[in-house]
Structure 1
Amino acid sequence: MATHDEQEAGLGALLSPDIWKRRAVLWGGAIAVALAAIAFARASDLAFSLFKRVIAFSPWWALLLTPGMFALLAWITTRGLESTRGSGIPQVIAALRTPEAERQRHLSLKVSLAKLGLTVAGLLGGASIGREGPTVHVGAGVMLAIGRRFGLRGDVQARRLLLAGGAAGIAAAFNAPLAGVVFAIEELGGAFEHRFSGTLLTSVIVGGVVSLALLGSYTYFGRVEIALPLRQAWLAVLACGIACGLAGGVFSRLLLAAVEGKPRWLGTLRGGHPVLFAMGCGLLLAGLGIAFGPGAFGTGYEQARSLVQGHAVVGHEFGIVKFVANLASYLAGIPGGLFSPALAVGAGLGNDIATLMPEAPANAIVLLGMCGYLTGVTQAPLTSAVISMELTNSDGMLLPILATVLIARGASALVCRTPVYKALAQRLLPQPSKPPGEAA
């Protein structure tokens, strides 16, 4: 039983105006993040639909639009908006571990608004990017700005605001509250506090309720009523876990090597001529779209949904094409995330694996491919599992999905030892200076 002092302390905390002020700011901020996520999603869909209408008239327009937009975005992000590049999740992770001045550089309201607008512009140019990572970035920045406006300052408060904002962002982006909570713990994990868990949970729920109220009850990839018999499940789990996990690890390894300037010629070109390099990436993406179809462009949502639902609108080359398209788009240095495009690659790879197992339900293997590849890229198995299940409402696949992501995590680590978001975040942290006299 609780002692008298403990009961008084608990009652004091319950009635404390400061605690209720923090909760009100977090819950109000979660509403603002959800509204921003919904506006972001609508603007992104509109932008990409405009791009699709143009290339439907003639796919050759992509040779002008995509390289031109890549070059423009690369040029803009070299003019004081470097923090808008990439997915945004590494910026949030880095901000959780940096002092106030550095934190503002990555997550000011200016950066958040620019992130939103530039990601939309990228989709207008057909970039193979997602909006979920940028939504985490925007959500964390909006929540931090609101907290500062109402006097919540200091490192502890900032970490709480960033954690809640990022989690609410991923929950609203996917309409998947549980994924938001798991993402906050697994990906942003170093700042998670047990005492803060209840407030974090309610913030994510508030964001999810707002999204549900405005968009209605829907499942991102549609409801999937599937199950794998045990005699088929073990082989599918092994194949998707190993193949897709390795593929995700290769993607992360290639991305990190290029970011670190390897090979040297690529690093020299990317660092010395970022606008021209981005234009070249755009030309590569446009060429893929012309040669293999419009699935190379955008998030890959429509193609992945068609595979999950069992009425494919793409061929068996889709997974490899999307893999290259994602790599080209990310290396261009433009704003844009990895989640949706990675799910699309995984769906394509899962569809290829399904051809080797004709007796098993193809869309079940597609789902395992999605969670396996996403795990391979992020090395966040729980987040990948929860996202895959929530986006398809496929509770009957719980055990195969969990087994797949655990195998994929191990397979990915064989190729890429450091998780991609953690490695990218480390590059944003202040580097320790070397002692005097130590060789450079």
Structure 2
Amino acid sequence: MAGQSRRHPMLRRSRAMWASRRVWQPRLVFWAGAISIGLISVLFAVLADKAQALFHAVIGNDGGWRFYLPLAITPLGFVLCAWLAHAFFPGSQGSGIPQAIAARHLRDDDDRSHILSLRLVAGKIALTLVGLFCGASIGREGPTVQVGASLMLQAARWGGMAQARGLILAGSAAGIAAAFNTPLAGIVFAIEEMGRTYEARTNGLVLTAVILAGLASLGVLGNYTYFG
């Protein structure tokens, strides 16, 4: 009887804890952030492929006068991207991976917002698509890392989660996993690219984000193979 009386208060406390909004709200926001990373990364991948296909359709492959169009389209596209980045999306410069790494080492949230924000998510995607349409030799791996980190950090702000460094790492890994349908690559990326200060307590965040983002991408595109 004494053992049961001791267990009952523990059960009541456990039930109260799991029923608390403070316990579930951060988790729900985190899960929603991971799923949104998967969906946006897939959309980014599809649009990037279409932008490249459109560029090749414009220049053609018949060897005619359109073969020389990149001499005009590409420089003008670079000028447009530089102007847009400077005027509307400051902080979007760079590949994206160094920015995500730097954000993990910043202590002030205002400083992080200069390189990780929803505005930069839109800017990074738009500028990458414009660059691909103009024939730029760029990829979307780096931008996807910054996009994933930005989305997860914003989700952390909405959910009141305090582990900013671990969440940036989780968002970056989730972006890689969803964009290239490679969950293991997302985890390896988290360890290798951003893992100089890798902490054991972030394991759960990274694994959960990678799984949810990967499932979201699989739900939209199915089990696909990406070479690019």
Q: TM-score range by the shorter chain?
A: 0.7 to 0.9
Contact 1:26 1:164 in 2 (8 A): no
Tell me the number of residue pairs that the alignment of Structure 1 and Structure 2 aligns. Answer: 211
Distance 2:55 2:203 in 1: 42
Distance 1:13 1:83 in 2: 45
In the alignment, structure 1 segments of 5+ residues that lack a partner are 1-7, 222-300, 302-440
Map 1:44-83 → 2, pairs under 5 A: 44-56=48-60, 58-79=66-87, 81-83=89-91
Counterpart residue number, 2:100: 92
Counterpart residue number, 1:109: 118
Contact 2:85 2:123 in 1 (8 A): no
Contact 2:78 2:131 in 1 (8 A): yes
Counterpart residue number, 1:419: none
Distance 1:186 1:19 in 2: 31
The farther-off stretch of 126-135 and 16-25 is: 16-25
Distance 1:184 1:63 in 2: 39
Select the residue among 35, 44, 56 that pairs with 1:31.
35
Q: Which amino acid aligns with 2:125?
A: L
CA offsets per residue over residues 64-105 of structure 1, 9 Å max, x none?
Answer: 110110111112222253321121111111111112111000
Counterpart residue number, 1:220: 226
In the alignment, structure 2 segments of 5+ residues that lack a partner are 1-9
Provide runs of 4+ in structure 1 moved above 6 Å. Answer: none
State the identity as a percent.
Answer: 49
- With over 3 angstroms needed to count, the CA separation of the structure-2 counterparts of 1:166 and 1:212, relative to structure 1, is same
TM-score by length of structure 2 reads 0.85
Offset, 1:15: 4.8
TM-score by length of structure 1 reads 0.45
Q: Which amino acid aligns with 2:138?
A: I
Offset, 1:36: 0.5
Contact 1:107 1:140 in 2 (8 A): yes
Select the residue among 125, 141, 150 that pairs with 1:141.
150
Contact 2:144 2:176 in 1 (8 A): yes
Q: Which amino acid aligns with 2:165?
A: R
- With over 3 angstroms needed to count, the CA separation of the structure-2 counterparts of 1:52 and 1:150, relative to structure 1, is same
Offset, 1:112: 1.4
Offset, 1:219: 2.4
Map 1:330-341 → 2, pairs under 5 A: none
- With over 3 angstroms needed to count, the CA separation of the structure-2 counterparts of 1:201 and 1:13, relative to structure 1, is farther
Q: Which amino acid aligns with 1:110?
A: R
Contact 1:163 1:191 in 2 (8 A): no
Map 1:37-436 → 2, pairs under 5 A: 37-56=41-60, 58-79=66-87, 81-98=89-106, 99-152=108-161, 154=162, 157-221=163-227, 301=228
- With over 3 angstroms needed to count, the CA separation of the structure-2 counterparts of 1:13 and 1:102, relative to structure 1, is farther
Higher RCO (Cα < 8 Å, 6 or more apart): 2
Distance 1:146 1:67 in 2: 37
- With over 3 angstroms needed to count, the CA separation of the structure-2 counterparts of 1:68 and 1:160, relative to structure 1, is same
Contact 2:166 2:205 in 1 (8 A): no
